[in-house]
A = this chain, B = another copy of it.
């Protein structure tokens, strides 16, 4: 089920419209190409609707949100909803500034998202729980170590209820909470947190998988599983060939481009509960 999703992406070759941050935008474009999709980055208010109209899905990432791009996020999101396209939200750094938290909340109020993906701090911030976001790549370590507590699960389910979106929470284990079931994904490698943009890349990939799927929870879990497996294979290669965090980042994208359903079937560890 999960491995087949990759074939669907490669067959359909969806065009994924990203309104995203300028920090990791190049990695997002390249990882979309690597997984078989096509990227289009466009954030001017005057073209946001045109571009989304030719796209297969929309990914809104607030990593470097600003006065010029925020209105484009709303316009593109509303148009994507009219066209029934999947829309993904990556609330980067929600909780770190009033602007980020408020913008994420307003986006959720006006736009129907298919998937919302963040780390636990960001998800907590927009679910109305406590948040101690410390920038965009950092998280409250207490929330991330080991298993997620019952409180956290409650928070995730609350956000799912409020938004109707599938919620992907990434960390040592990833959680994908859909309407009917909750997936736990035990793939990936801790070193992924030492590479800028792994979260953004997964959100972009989720946009590609959702565009090629009918079940958004399966699509989100497949994307997270595939990317986690890529992180594992990349770490194996790093161990063999040496290098540091920059080599590792390049290997992750390489492994996405060389991913096959067979590799996924062998390595994906997704539990349904």
Contacts and interface: CB of A to CB of B under 8 A. Distances in A.
Contacts of A27: 26
Copies assembled: 3
A136 B47 CA distance: 13
A196 B39 contact: yes
A41 B66 CA distance: 12
Contact of A26 (B54, B197, B244): B197
Contact of A196 (B26, B93, B96): B26
A182 interface: no
B33 A21 contact: no
A195 B256 CA distance: 13
A46 B67 contact: yes
A75 to B, nearest CB: 12
A40 to B, nearest CB: 4
A27 B50 CA distance: 27
Interface stretch (A151-159, A205-213, A216-224, A245-253): A245-253
Contact of A39 (B33, B66, B98, B135): B135
Nearest to A40: B135
Contacts of A13: 138
Contacts of A251: 243, 246
Contacts of A64: 41-44
A253 to B, nearest CB: 4
A45 B50 CA distance: 26
Interface string A113-135: 00000000000000000000011
16 contacts: A13-B138, A23-B29, A23-B39, A26-B27, A26-B197, A30-B196, A33-B194, A39-B196, A40-B96, A42-B93, A46-B67, A47-B100, A54-B96, A244-B255, A244-B256, A247-B254
